[in-house]
Chains A and B, each alone.
Chain A
Amino acid sequence: MAETLTIGKALNTGLRRAMERDPKVLIMGEDVGKLGGVFRITDGLQKDFGDERVIDTPLAESGIIGTAVGLAIRGYRPVCEIQFDGFVYPAYDQIVSQVAKMHYRSQGKVSLPIVIRIPFGGGIGAVEHHSESPEAYFAHTAGLKVVSCSNPDDAYWMIQQSIESDDPIIFMEPKRRYWEKGQVNVDTASAPLHVSRVARTGTDATVLAYGPMVRTALDAATAAAEDGRELEVIDLRTLSPLDMGPVYESVRRTGRAIVVHEAPGNLGLGSEIAARITEECFYSLEAPVLRVTGFDTPYPAARVEEEYLPDLDRVLDAVDRSFGF
C-alpha cells in the first residue's frame, strides 16, 4: 500500500511504528513531548504513548545522550532528538567518547542501540547554529554509524531500521526537505539501511549526494538532460559505513564523478569518497573527482546562504569542468 507523505510525516509515522512494535523504544529530547518537536516530527507521540516513553528532557544535550547511554545499558532503545545541528556539540563528548566506544571497550558485552536524530543543513533562513552539516565529525568516529534520508519512503523505513539496529546511529534529517511529499510503500522496505542507491540512471557522469542535496542533484540532472548530458545520480544514504559498490560500478561506466554536499569541502565526506574512487577506479577516470560543497567558512548569515549552498548551477558548473579535462 502506498501513501503520500511528507518527509516529516513519514518520520513521524516511522517513529510511531517503531514504538508500537517495541515497548523499549523511548523518545527523548527538548520539546519532543507536548509540542511534538520544533519541526513536529514527534507530533502526537507523547499523547499516545505517554510521558514515560516520550520524554521532554531538561535543556542539556550532553544529559540527553549521557542518560540515553544508561537507559540503553538498562535495556531501552532511546531515540534522541537534537533540536538543531549546531546544538549537538555539547553532547559531542558523550557521543564520541562514550556512545561510540562502549561496544568496543566492552568487547561486545554492551551494545548501545541509540538513535540520535539531527535535523541538519541550511536553506531555511535561520539564525546561526541552525543550518550546519556536522556529519563528517561522526562519520570520522569509529563505532558510530551515520545515515541520511532524502525522501519520504527512505525516511519512513530508515528511521525504523535505525531503531531496530544494535548500532548507535546518527540519523541526519534533511530539515529543509521536511515538507516535500512523496510516495511511501508502507508494506515493504525498498532497501536495507546501509546501502547506497541509484536515484537516476545516466551514462555521462556520476553525481553523488545524500540528504538535502539529492533533490539538488536530481534537479541538476534534469537540467543537464536538456543539454544532452545524462547524469547518473546516486543517493549515498549511508555515510558510515559508505556503500561504495554501486558508486564504483557507476564511475567505471561514466568515467566522471562529482560529489555534492552542504558541509565544507575540507575533509568532508567528499574528500574520502574522492580518495576511494581514485584508488578503485583510477584507470576508468576521465577527470579528477570533483567536489561541490559549502565553502570552508562558518555557515554564513541567512541572506547569503543561497550563495554558500551548492545549487543546481554549481553542480552543472562542476559537470562542465569535469568534461573540460
Chain B
Amino acid sequence: MAKGDAKARTHTTRAAPEPAFVQLLTPEGDRVEHPDYTVDFTDEEYRSLYHDLVVVRKLDAEATALQRQGELGIWASLLGQEAAQVGSGRALRTQDMAFPTYREHGVLYCRGIDPIMPLRLFRGVDQGAWDPNEFKFGMYTIVIGAQTLHATGYAMGVGKDGKVGSDDGEAVIAYFGDGATSQGDVNEAFIWASVFNAPMVFFCQNNQYAISEPLERQTRVPLYHRASGFGFPGLRVDGNDVLACYAVTRKALDDARHGQGPSLIEAYTYRMGAHTTSDDPTRYRIASEVEAWQAKDPIKRLRAFLDKQAIAGDDFFAAVDEEARVAAVDLRERVLTMPDPDPRSLFDHVYPHGSPELDQQREQFSTYMASFEGSGH
C-alpha cells in the first residue's frame, strides 16, 4: 500500500460514523431488539442495575476528589465506562473469576467487594494486598496486559480441574483496554487460550485512548476482528449500553463454561475523564468529541428507559442518589482514617517463609530508626 493510501485510511477511520455493534438500549433510552442477544430482567433487576451504575460513578467521583485534595496519590477514573463494567461484572456468576486492570472499580463493586479495597493501593498504604481466590477477583495489575496471561493460565487450571462443561462450570474474564491489544502478552494470551480451548472471555474496553494515543495508533482493523485470526469469535458491543454489555458477556461466559472456548468482546466506549489524575486530556482531544460521547451517557439512557417504561420514578432516583451520597461519605471517612503502614513492615512478605538476610536488614533499620528517638527528628 502506498504511503498516501495509509494516510487516507487513517483519516477515514477517524471520520467513521457509529460502528456496528450489539445494542439493546439506544442513547435515548429506547429498547431495541437484536437477533442474537436479549435480556429478561425483572423491574427490580433493572432498578438494581441503575443503582449500581449510579453508585459506581459517585464513588469514582469521590475518589477523584480525594486525589485532588491530596488524600490519594493517583486515581484512575472509570467515568464513562460504567455500563461496560457493571454490565459485564453483573454477568459473572458466583464461581467465575475476573482478572482486572487498575480501572475495574465497577466490576469490583459488582463482585460484592468493599470499594475501599483498591483505595489502599491508590493512597499508597499497600499494593493491592487482597486474595484473588477469596474475592474471585485478581489484584489490580498495572503492567499493561500482563493479567491476560494470568487469567488464561488460571482458566487452563479450571480445565485441568474438570470444572468446564456444565452449567456450574467456571469461566474466567480478563479485562484490558485498547492500548493493551498491542502488547505481546495479550496476543500470547489469545494464542494460549485458543490453543488450549481455555474457558476465557477477553473483555476489551475500547475507551478510544491509551493515555494520549488514539485507537489508530494501536490498530488498523476493528479490535474485535482480531479474534478471528486467533481462531475464536469476537464481537463488538455498545459499551455504554449496560443491557447489551450484560447480555453479550453472559453469553460468552456461559459458552466458555460449557467448553466452547474463548471469545473476545470489544466494548466500544469512551473514557470521559483523564487517563489518571496525572493526565491532561485537553492536550490530545477536542471538546466536541467529548460532548458527542456525553450524549451517549450510560446512566442517562438507562434512566430514560426506566422512566419511559414506568419502572422507576423520581422517588426511586432520589433514593439512589442519596444512597450513593452516603456511600461516598463513608468511603471518604474511611480513606481519611486509613493508617499508614509501620515502616518496618516494608520488609515483610518478600518471601513466603521469610529471609535471614531481610530479618537482618529489618533489625539494622529498626536500630537506625531507634537512634533518632528523643532527638527531636
- For B62, the chain A residues whose CB sits under 8 A away are none
Interchain nearest-CB distance for B93 vs A (Å):
17
Q: For B185, what are the chain A residues with a Cβ–Cβ distance below 8 Å?
A: 62-63, 66, 93-94
Say yes or no: A109-B129 contact (C-beta < 8 A), given A52-B160, A67-B152: yes
CB distance from B196 to the nearest CB of A (A): 8
Cβ-defined contact, B151 with A241, below 8 A: no
Residues on B with beta carbons closer than 8 Å to the beta carbon of A90:
184
Asked if A70 is at the interface of the complex by the 8 Å CB criterion, the answer is yes
- Interface pair A70/B152, CB less than 8 Å apart: yes
Which residue on chain B has the smallest CB distance to residue A144? B351
A-facing mask of B164-197, CB < 8 A → 1, else 0? 0000000000000000000011001101100100
- Encode A225-246 as 1/0 by CB contact (under 8 A) with B: 0000000000000000110000
* Contact status B139-A63, CB under 8 Å: no
**How many chain B residues touch A (Cβ–Cβ < 8 Å)?**
44
Q: How far is the CA of A167 from the CA of B157 in the complex (A)?
A: 20
Q: Provide the bound-state CA to CA distance between A29 and B297, in Å.
A: 46
B127 and A105 contacting across the interface, CB-CB below 8 Å: yes
Beta-carbon nearest neighbor of B141 in chain A: A98
B residues 278-322 in Cβ contact with A at 8 Å: none
Distance, CA A109 to CA B192, complexed state (A) = 26
Chain A residues closer than 8 Å to B151, beta-carbon distance: 70
Selecting from B40-48, B130-138, B254-262, the interface stretch reads: B130-138
Report the stretch among A73-81, A115-123, A178-186, A306-314 that lies at the interface. Answer: A73-81
Q: Which among A58, A69, A74 is the interface contact of B191 at CB below 8 angstroms?
A: A58
A71 CB–B CB distance under 8 Å: yes
> Which B-chain residue is minimally distant from A75 (CB atoms)?
B157
Chain B: minimal CB distance from A193 (Å): 11
Please name all residues of chain A whose beta carbon is closer than 8 Å to the beta carbon of B15 when the two chains form the complex: none
In-complex Cβ contact of A107 among B148, B153, B156, B348 (8 A): B348
Cβ-based interface call for B342 (8 A): no
Q: Could you tell me the distance in whole angstroms from the C-beta of A147 to the nearest C-beta in chain B? A: 14
Q: Does A143 contact B (CB under 8 A)?
A: yes
The residue that B143 contacts in the complex, of A73, A93, A103, A110, with Cβ under 8 A, is: A93
Which residues of chain B come closer than 8 Å to A133, judged between CB atoms? none
Contact check, B149 vs A76: say whether CB atoms are below 8 A apart: no
A191 at the interface (CB under 8 A from B): no
Chain B residues with Cβ below 8 Å from A241 are 355-357
CB of A322 to closest CB in B, whole Å: 27
Alpha-carbon distance between A242 and B355 when the two chains are bound, in angstroms: 11
Contacts of A110 in B (CB 8 A): 131-132, 139
CA distance A75 to B130 in the complex (A): 16
CB contacts (< 8 Å) of B96 on chain A: these are: none
* Interface pair A166/B139, CB less than 8 Å apart: no
Q: Which of B148, B150, B161, B191 contacts A60 (CB 8 A)?
A: B191
User: Chain A residue with minimal CB distance to B357?
Assistant: A241
Is A70 touching B130 in the complex (CB atoms < 8 A)?
Answer: no
Cβ-defined contact, A58 with B150, below 8 A? no
Asked if B188 and A103 make an inter-chain contact with CB atoms under 8 angstroms apart, the answer reads: no
- Chain A: how many interface residues by the 8 Å CB criterion? 41
Cβ-defined contact, A62 with B184, below 8 A: yes
Tell me whether B349 and A67 are in contact (CB under 8 A).
Answer: no
**Quick one: which of A123-180 are within 8 Å of B by CB?**
142-143, 145, 166-167
Residues of A within 8 A of B231 (CB): none
B16 at the interface (CB under 8 A from A): no
Q: Please, which residue of chain A has its CB at the minimum distance from the CB of B353?
A: A166
Contacting pair B350 A70 (CB below 8 A): no
| Given known A-B contacts A106-B129, A106-B131, A107-B126, A74 and B157 have beta carbons under 8 A apart | yes
Whether A97 sits at the interface, judged by CB under 8 Å, is yes
- A111 at the B interface (CB under 8 A): yes
How far is B193's CA from A57's CA once the two chains are assembled, in angstroms?
Answer: 11
Evaluate contact between A94 and B128: CB separation under 8 angstroms.
no
Q: Are A63 and B192 in contact (CB under 8 A)?
A: yes
Decide yes or no whether A68 CB sits under 8 A from chain B.
yes
Question: In the complex, A274 Cα to B134 Cα: how many Å?
Answer: 45
Specify which chain A residues have a CB less than 8 angstroms from the CB of B133 in the assembled complex: 73
B115 → chain A, closest Cβ, in Å? 19
B146 at the interface (CB under 8 A from A): yes
A66-B188, A70-B157, A107-B348 known; A58+B146 contact, CB < 8 A: no
**Is the pair B130, A109 in contact by a Cβ cutoff of 8 Å?**
yes
Q: Which residues of B contact A103 (CB under 8 A)?
A: 349-352
Interface pair B192/A67, CB less than 8 Å apart = yes
**How many whole Å from B211's CB to the nearest CB in chain A?**
19
A104 at the interface (CB under 8 A from B): yes
A70 contact from B134, B149, B349, B356, Cβ within 8 A: B149
Residues of A within 8 A of B192 (CB): 57-58, 63, 67
Q: A70 CA to B155 CA in the complex, in Å?
A: 8
A94 to B357, CA, bound (A): 25
> In the complex, A167→B351 CA distance in Å?
6
Q: Which residues of A contact B189 (CB under 8 A)?
A: 63, 66-67
> Do B149 and A66 touch across chains, with their CB atoms under 8 A apart?
yes
Whether the pair A108, B153 counts as a contact (CB closer than 8 A) is: no
* 26 A-B pairs in the complex with CB atoms less than 8 angstroms apart: A63-B185, A66-B149, A66-B152, A67-B189, A70-B153, A71-B153, A73-B138, A73-B153, A73-B157, A74-B161, A75-B157, A93-B143, A103-B349, A103-B350, A104-B350, A105-B126, A106-B128, A106-B132, A107-B349, A108-B349, A109-B134, A110-B131, A111-B352, A143-B350, A167-B352, A242-B357
> A interface vs B, CB < 8 Å?
52, 57-58, 60, 62-63, 65-76, 90, 93-94, 97-98, 101-111, 142-143, 145, 166-167, 241-242
For the A-B complex with A69-B149, A71-B157, A74-B153 known, give 5 more contacts whose Cβ atoms are closer than 8 Å. Answer: A58-B192, A98-B150, A108-B352, A143-B350, A167-B353
